Structure 1
Amino acid sequence: MARHVLSLFVKISLFIAVMLIVAKVVPYDGLVDSITALFDYQNTQRFTHFILGEPDVEPWESLQVYFNLLINTLISVPVMSAVITFFNRVTLKVKPASLLKEWIFSTLRRLAKIFAFTFIFWVLFRCLTYHSFFENENNFSDFSLAAFIGLNLLLTIACYCFITKKITFKRSL
């Protein structure tokens, strides 16, 4: 169990490091600007309202942050998969002929996991009635905001683990 937790921690730390390196090294700001240029103000308002569930004060900045994060993730996941595939090649002596196949499947699997986890987080964020726990919806203290996000993250982890266990159980029968 401890080895699994350590492995997960190392993978998450590696992913964060890869995302930071990609953000610094890869110039994709022009791509983000060209994508956000496709939206007018009303569509930007609708898009950010759909994600947040409420009107956004600065929809252009939020839209740029969303697309920045999406493009960074779409670049970082294949890079991380390549690093892990190379590591597996060196340590586990994986055959060179199967490296491309392993890299492609690990990239697709990681993308599916990230987007499934993000989708579950977003659904819980949008659907659960957290406002009943907070007395004043306009002003959140730092502690209550951290508690809100922490609770949502724990619920997301629990739901994700439950779903993956059910999928694994169904597939093994």
Structure 2
Amino acid sequence: MISLSNKNLLYVILVLLFGLFPYHQDITKQQNTIWYNYLPNCPCKNPDSTGVYVNDGWAKDKGNITKYHRGAAECFRSYPPIETSEGKSGQQCCYDKSNNLITEGSGAGTPDKESTCSGENSKGVMITRLIGIIGHYRKDVKPWDDMGGENNGWVKYNQLWKPNQGKNCKY
């Protein structure tokens, strides 16, 4: 079993390798949005707001929410990954302090062309899909960085990786 520190080391090594083997994607061609229509709608309320329900298809995100989804209190990732034209994709949904789905702005979750979530543990926290980390970095994180990252990169990014609006959400 890989310890947490070894997983982090593996992640760093993989990210460094991508620096040696650059992957270029034309961000203007990201407007093929059909792929994310196959992903599940986000729940209108935080899936764990009334308790952790294991095997419900939503796992608590253990990524850096304060960096990538500034303003969100919690984020969740869908599982299992869904095969789309972009890869094994997944939905990410983020919630405010009142447990309501955030549908716009820097705190909103965004669909992932390559999912990093394979399920959840007994506490409802996502189990990382190690093979998905590489594709997620190349297809989802790198474009966010290229569009400005923490300096309002979400403005351009969310136009192409549109946050899910949930289904009939009313607050």
Question: What is the TM-score when the length of structure 2 is the normalising length?
Answer: 0.26
Larger strand percent: 2
Query: Bigger radius of gyration, 1 or 2?
Result: 1
Question: What is the TM-score when the length of structure 1 is the normalising length?
Answer: 0.26
Higher relative contact order, chain-length normalized (CA < 8 Å, sep 6+) = 2
Larger helix percent: 1
